[in-house]
Chains A and B, each alone.
Chain A
Amino acid sequence: MKAAPIFEAGSHRWWIIYDQDEHRVIDSNVYVIESNEQTIILDPGGFEIFPQVFAALVEAVPPSSLKAAFVSHQDPDIASSLPLWHACNEKMEWHIPKLWEGFIRHYGALDAPLQNIEDTGGSIIIGGRRLEFIPAHYLHSSANFHLYDPEAKILFSGDVGAALLPPGHDAWVDRRDKTGRAFAEHISKAKYFHERWMPSNAAKKNWIERVSQMDIQYLCPQHGAIYSGDNVKRFLDWFDKLTVGTAII
C-alpha cells in the first residue's frame, strides 16, 4: 500500500493509505489526519492488511504521534486490526459506536481503551482541532458514523461512496475531468455495493439532507476513490436517485 497526501495547510494534514497488496480481502482505504503532531487514523483496517498499513503510515507520521483511532462501524475490514495497533501503542484511544462495544472487543482487545460514541454523534479534539462524528446509522451498519473536518472541509464517509476497484487504482476519481464522464465510469463500480450493502432508503434520504448542508471539498470513502469538487455533488445526486436495499429482492 502507499500513503499519499490529500490535504495540507501548515500543521494540518490528511493522507490516504490505499491500493492494497493483498487481494484475498476487500481493498480498503485508511485515512490519517495529523494536527500539530498528533495523529488520528480513520477506519484503521483489517487484521490481514495491518503490516502494510502500518509500514505506509510511518512514511507519513511517526508512530508516537498516534493518539486515537476512529471506527465508523464494527466490520472486520475496519476494526479487526485493533489488537495489533493496541500492541504497538496501548495509549491509543478507540472511538467507536457505543452499540458495537461488546462486538468490537471480540477482535481480541479486552483491555483496549474504547471510547463510546453515542447515537447522536459527538466530536474529538486532535492537536487543537475539532473533528465531528456525524451519525450515519443504517449506512450500512445500524450504528454507524462518519467524520467531518470543518477546517479541511473533508468528510470521511465510511462505506458510503465505496467502489470496488481493481488493483493499481487511483486515489481520486479523476479530478481533471470536467465533463462528468470519469464520474459516470467510476460510479458504475459503486452501484452494486450501494444497492446491496445499504439497507435503508429512509436513512439514505436523511443523510443526504444533512450532508448537503455541509461544506465538503472532498468526500473520502473507505473503499474506492475520493470524490472532489463537482464529483461530491454528483455523488450526492446519484445516491439520492438510487434505490437501495433491494439488490436481491
Chain B
Amino acid sequence: MNIQHIMGVVDASFAARQSIEKALREIDRRALNAMVLVKRHGNALAGYGVVAQAFRERAATLKDSAAHLQESIAPLIEAYMRILQHQRFSDSFEQMLAHNADHEKHCPGLRSTQKKWQIIIVEEEAEAKAVLERLLEMVQLLQEGIEEQEYVVTNGRIEAALAESTGAPLMRVSREMGEAVRTVALAIRSYRHQLESLEHESSTHL
C-alpha cells in the first residue's frame, strides 16, 4: 500500500466531490429555471414542459446518489488507515527479527505474532478492496444517471427547435442544461479514474 498515492487520491476525490456537488446544484437550478419558463408560456410549451419535468426529477435522483457516494468514501479511507496502522506493528516485529537472528531462538512467539499481523493486514486489504468495488458500482450508477440526463437534454433541444416560434429562449436554456450536465459528467469521470487507480494498485498487490 503506497500511502502517498492514497493521500493523492483522497485529495483529488475531495476536489472531485466538491465539483460534483456544485455541478449538481447548478443542474437543479437550471431545471427550476426551465420549469418557470414553461409555466410562464402556458400551453404553448407543453412539449418542453415534459422534458423540463423529467430533467428536474433526474436532477433529484442524481443528488440522492451523490449523497450515498459521500457516505461510502469514509469507510474506504478508514479501511486504508487501519492497514497503515497495523502495518506499523508488522514492520516493527519484522525489524526485530531481521536485526537479530537470536530473537527467533529465544522468543519464538515473535515470528508467530508477526505472521498474525500479516494475516490481519491481508484480510483488511481484501475488505478495503470490497469497499472500493462497492464504491465503483455506485459511481457507475451515477454515470448511468448522467447518461440518462444527457438524453433528456438532447430531447430538450429537439423540443426547443420545434417551439422556436413562441419566442421563449429555450435554445439557451437547453444549452445551459447541457453544459451543467457535461460538467458533472467530467467530474464523475475524473473521480472514477482516481478510484480505479487505487483498484489497480490493490489488485497488483494482492
Contacts and interface: CB of A to CB of B under 8 A. Distances in A.
B37 interface: no
A105 to B, nearest CB: 15
A106 to B, nearest CB: 13
A51 to B, nearest CB: 4
Contact of A58 (B3, B10, B75, B84): B10
Contacts of B107: none
Nearest to B78: A55
B85 A50 contact: yes
Given A51-B85, A54-B81, A59 B3 contact: no
A54 B14 CA distance: 13
A108 interface: yes
Nearest to A48: B85
Given A51-B82, A63-B11, A88-B7, A58 B88 contact: no
B3 A88 contact: yes
B163 interface: no
B203 interface: no
Question: Chain A interface mostly helix, strand, loop or mixed?
Answer: helix
A56 interface: yes
A60 to B, nearest CB: 9
A89 B7 contact: yes
A84 B10 contact: no
A54 B77 contact: yes
Interface string B88-131: 10000000000000000000000000000000000000000000
B91 to A, nearest CB: 10
A56 B85 contact: no
B70 interface: yes
Interface string A72-87: 0000000000011001
A47 B92 CA distance: 15
B15 interface: yes
A122 interface: no
Nearest to B92: A108
A88 B84 CA distance: 9
Contact of B77 (A58, A61, A87): A58
B11 A64 contact: yes
B206 interface: no
Contact of A63 (B7, B73, B79, B88): B7
18 contacts: A47-B85, A50-B81, A51-B82, A54-B77, A55-B75, A58-B10, A58-B77, A59-B73, A59-B74, A62-B10, A62-B11, A62-B15, A63-B7, A63-B14, A83-B88, A84-B81, A84-B85, A88-B7
Interface of A: 47, 50-52, 54-56, 58-59, 61-64, 83-84, 87-89, 108
